[in-house]
Structures are given as structure tokens and as C-alpha cells.
Amino acid sequence: MKMKKLAASLAAATMAVTMISGSAFAADVIKIGVFEPQTGENGGGGIQELQGARYANELRPTVTIDGVEYQIELDEVDNKSDKTEAVTAAQKLVADGVTAVIGSYGSGVSIAAGPIFADAEIPAIGCSCTNPQVTSGCEYYFRVCFLDPFQGSVMAQYAFDEGYTKVAVIEQLGDDYSTGLASFFKKQFEALGGTIVTDQQFQTNQSDFKAVLTEVKAAEAEAIFAPTSITVAPLVIKQARELGIDAAFMAGDTWYNSTIIDNAGVEEAEGMVCSTFFDEADESNPIAVDFVKGYKEWLNADAKRIENNGGNDAIVGNTALCFDTYNVICDALEAAGTTDGAELKEAIAALSTEGVTGAITFNAIGDANKDTAYIDVVKDGGFQFLKTVTVQ
């Protein structure tokens, strides 16, 4: 079953997802590693991403290779949002004999694990790891999301178009996603003619941002670009408002998460803008429409799934990307006709398919040929679609 046929299967699954057979083929099992942070600073986002793979696995539990049907088994490991732990987790997946790997939420851990997967000739596909270094120089790493140079430029263009001329940047030292996205934003915003009035940095595990925000306030920034984790985001927003800072907050894909609104406060988060990979309100793609319906039913069928999703059934972009990633691997396995890592890598590189997040093909580096981002704003306690931005 190719991804382009998923629309029909997803529609059927919304009516019978709880009736999916649990039969297994004891001797014919393929393991797919799910390399995600389940704890640590990015644990919340990692678990949301992980659930995309779990749902996909329930809908498509088998693949057929050379006439033999194989059961797909998810081998989940926790990279703990830490680069050192990521290496250990990657080594475990190699030792477990996985055929391919999904993940990770967080570019730093993906970069750290890349050489481990490459040495073992195990293809890995990132769902939402947007830093260019993930695939650069690592021929066994692919990804289905757009990259930070693109979304950094998108948010810089948005800020400039909104009339902001003085912007503050807040970034996390040692976090490849945060510093990378901040760098691309700054470069493009200044190229457009804007001014970065202050560039503030903070340490991992920091929770008091008053000193950083005092500098932002003194700089009289009209807007704040803060590409941080979903754990840090509500702290920064709340403390900024406590200091009397009313500047608009902007961020990248990690901030498209309703838990930030819940934890920061509806009034405090009002007007926050971010770029994202997917918007559940977009009905232009039939496959996406069926996915939204089916995934919400799947979430609401189990209280633990709702808890893992942040306490509600809102669909974040990285979950949709992970769903696509699982199906890309299944499509590639069937196209390759083998579980050999080198041949599977070539099959992924040549793949052309339709997913929940749109058309998926890969360039020579292993990056998805994505050219569109959604821009959403927080209004009245929820995310509302503003527009899409496309780069030709």
C-alpha cells in the first residue's frame, strides 16, 4: 500500500481503528527504531512526535517484500534530549538490529546520532529536526520537514512585512536548533533592512529570564524572536509580561503547541506568531483531512494518548510529519524489495509520494523538497491560521 493510496485507508480507519488486527508473523518481523526524546527538555514534543509513529503503525502494521508479509515492530528509545544520551540510544537501536530509524525531535540529538546510523548503514529519517547539519555530510540521514534557513527567512520576512524595524532575539546556548534558527532569522532580517537591537542568550535548564528580558526591555524591541523549546517558551512569555514587555513574540515550529498557551496564560500568549509544518484546519489535502479525523479519534480513545498530546486533541506539525515518515519508510521497503541498508537508502532517495504534509521527494543531500510553511497566530486562546509562505 503506497502513501498515495492512504486517503482511502485513512478514511476507513476512522471508522474501525480499534478493530485493527493484532496478528503477528513471529518469524517475519522488521524493526523500525523510533529515536525520540521522551524525557528532558524536549520530552513533551518528542512524545507527541512518537505518537505519530504509533498511530501509523496501527493503520499499517505490515509491509510486503518480495511476496512475503512482514510485521512492523516499533523499537522505541529515549534519547533524553541530550547529545551524549543520544549516542547511547542510537547504539542500542543498532544493537537491536533495526532496519531503519525515525527521528528525532531536536536537531542536536539527531546530529549526534548521525554517524552511529551511518556506520551501521541504517537509514534514518528525521521528522522535524530542521538544522542543516542533520543531513550535511551524513548520507544515511534524510528528513521530511523544511529547514531552518527557510523558516528563519520566512519569519524574518513576516516580521519585516508587519512593520517591525527593531527586533530582539533570545536563543539557547548549546542548542543547535535554537542557535541555528536564530542565526538565519538575524541574517535575513538585517538583509531586509531591519535591526536586531539585542541578541540575548541563556543556558540550558535556565528558568529565570528576568536579566535577559530586562535587556530586551531596555532595547525597546518592537518584537521578540525566541526559537526555544516548548518547556522554556511559557516561562519567557510570562516573565516578559510581568516586566511590562508588550512586544509581540515570534518563534519557529516548536512554538506551535497549545501547551505553551496553557502554561503561559491565554492573555499573555495572545498575538504570539510562529511558523509550522502543518495546520489541521487546512482542508486542501484529502489525505490530511482523513488523517486529522482519524488521529483525533485515536487520541480520544485513550486518556493516556491525550495526556501525551499535552492534554488535548490538537494536532501539532511534528506528529503529522512523523506519520508521514513511518509511511515513507514502509514505501521505501516495498520499493527496495529488501531490508539491506544500502539499497533501502537508495530507495528512499528515489521515492516520490504524497503524504499528510504534502508531496515528499528528497534532494541530493537527503532533505525534503519542501517550499511552503504555515504562519499561525494565537488568538482567543488558540492557534489561528494566518497564511502560507512559499519559496520558489
* Residue 4 confidence (pLDDT): 45
Structural domains of the chain ordered from first start: 3-146+280-361 (3.40.50.2300), 149-276+374-390 (3.40.50.2300)
pLDDT interval class at 388 (50, 70, 90): confident
Split at pLDDT 50, 70, 90, the class of 372 is confident
Average pLDDT over every residue of 175-193: 96
Give the pairing type, strands 382-390 and 195-202. unpaired
Query: How much is the average pLDDT of 55-75?
Result: 97
Q: Tell me, what's the pLDDT at 10?
A: 55
Average pLDDT of the chain is: 92
Per-residue pLDDT tens over the stretch 101-127 = 999 999 999 999 999 999 999 999 999
pLDDT in the model for residue 355: 96
Strands (E), the chain: 29-36, 62-65, 68-78, 100-102, 124-126, 141-143, 166-172, 195-202, 223-225, 248-251, 273-276, 353-355, 358-360, 372-379, 382-390
The answer to whether residue 17 scores a pLDDT higher than 80 is no
Across 113-137, b (16+ Cβ under 10 Å) vs e yields bbebbbebebbbbbbbbbbbbbbee
Checking if the pLDDT of 13 tops 60, the result is: no
Pick from 15-19, 79-83, 310-314: least confident: 15-19
State how far the Cα of 148 lies from the Cα of 135, in Å rounded to an integer: 13
Asked if the peptide bond before residue 21 counts as cis, ω within 30 degrees of 0, the response is no
Q: Does 20 score more than 80 pLDDT?
A: no
If one counts every other C-beta atom within 10 angstroms of the C-beta of residue 279, the result is 21
| CA dist., res. 305 & res. 50, Å (int) | 11
Question: What's the pLDDT at 391?
Answer: 65
What is the distance between the alpha carbons of residues 119 and 304, in angstroms, rounded to a whole number?
A: 37
pLDDT-based confidence at residue 2 (cuts at 50, 70, 90): low
Is the pLDDT score of 246 beyond 50? yes
Confidence of residue 6 (pLDDT cuts 50, 70, 90): low
The cell numbers describing 180, all together, are: 541555528
Least confident of 21-25, 104-108, 306-310, 326-330: 21-25
